[in-house]
Structure 1
Amino acid sequence: METKSTNYKQTINFTPELITRLNELLTHYPADKKKSALLPVLHEVQDAHDNWLSVELQEKVAEFLELKPIEVFEVVTFYTMYNQKPVGKYMFEFCSTSCCMLRGSDDLIDYTCVKLGIQPGQTTPDGMFSVAAVQCLGACGYAPMMQIGDYYHEHLTPQKIDQIIEDCKAGKIIIHDK
C-alpha cells in the first residue's frame, strides 16, 4: 500500500512525564484492552506535540499501545479533533451543523478567514491561527459557536470574532485547562 507523503516534520518526544501520564491513563482500562485507552492517549500525545499527530507519531502511539498502526490511523483520520498537520496556536473550530448554520456560522467562518487572510483548513503564516469547520460541538442552544482549545465561544458575531482575535494576539485566551 502506498501512503501519501507530506513535507511536515515532527520531533517525536515521549518524555518521562508523558510516558508516566500515558501509563496512568492505562490504569483506567483493563490490562488486556489497551485499545480502550486510544482516544485519551491520542489527546495527551497530541497536546505534548504542538497539537498535531504525524504518521510517525501515530506509529509510536500504536507501538506504545501494542496495536497495529492502521488501528491508530483509522481513529486519527475519522475524528476532527486530531490534527494530521501542523495547526496554529489558536485553532478556531467553528460548528458547521444545522443550528449553527441557520444562525450564520458560514458567514462567520468566511468573515474570520478574510480577516486572517487564510482559507478554512489553513494556518496563518505566523503560525498563530488556524480555522476549521467541524461537525456538531454539542452547544446548539448557543449558536453560532466555535471552540478554541478546551473552551467554547458562543453567540458569535463579527464583533465578538474581532475581540477574540485581539485577545488571542494579546495572550488573553486560554487554550487548555492543564
Structure 2
Amino acid sequence: MSKVPVFPLRPIPSREVAWEEFSEAPRFASRYRHLSRAALGDDYRVGVVIEELAPGKQSSPRHYHIFEEEHVFVLEGALTLRLGAASYEMKAGDYVCFPAGQKAGHCLINTSSAVCRYVLVGERNPNEVVVYPDSNKVLLRPLGRDAVFDLGATRDY
C-alpha cells in the first residue's frame, strides 16, 4: 500500500476528475470518475467513484465479495439491479448495500434509454476474494494481483 496522504486534504471538484473507461467484452462497459484515487492515491482503503452506465450495458458480471462491501446510490436515471435470483428497478434517490459475505451475486444493468449515473462506494481489501456464480469463477487478490480461476477446472490432488 502507498503512503497515506498528508492531512488536511482539500475538497476536490468531481467535474475536474477525468473520466476513465471500463470495458470487458461488449456487454460490460461503464465510465467513471475515481474520486478517492484523485484525492488519496491508488491504494487508499475505500474507493469512491461516480459511475455512468450507458443504455444496454451491464456494470460487471454478477458477483459477490467475501471481504469487501459495496454501496450504490443512484443520482440520475434508472437501472435494474440483479441480486441473487431477483431483479429490482432502481431510480434516482434509491440506495442499496452489498455486505461482505452476502452470497447473492449482484450487478447493475441499464435497461432504460438514457445514461444512469450513480455513486459507488466500496472497500479495497488486499485479501479480497470475489465469486462469479454465473461463470463459476473466483478472483483471488491475495496472490498479488487480481487472479481469476475457473472453479470447474478441478484436479484429483
**Common fold: TM-score over 0.5:** no
Tell which structure's C-alpha radius of gyration is larger.
1
Structure number with the bigger relative contact order (C-alpha 8 A, sep ≥ 6) is 2
Class of the TM-score when normalised by the shorter of the 2 chains = under 0.3
Higher strand share: 2
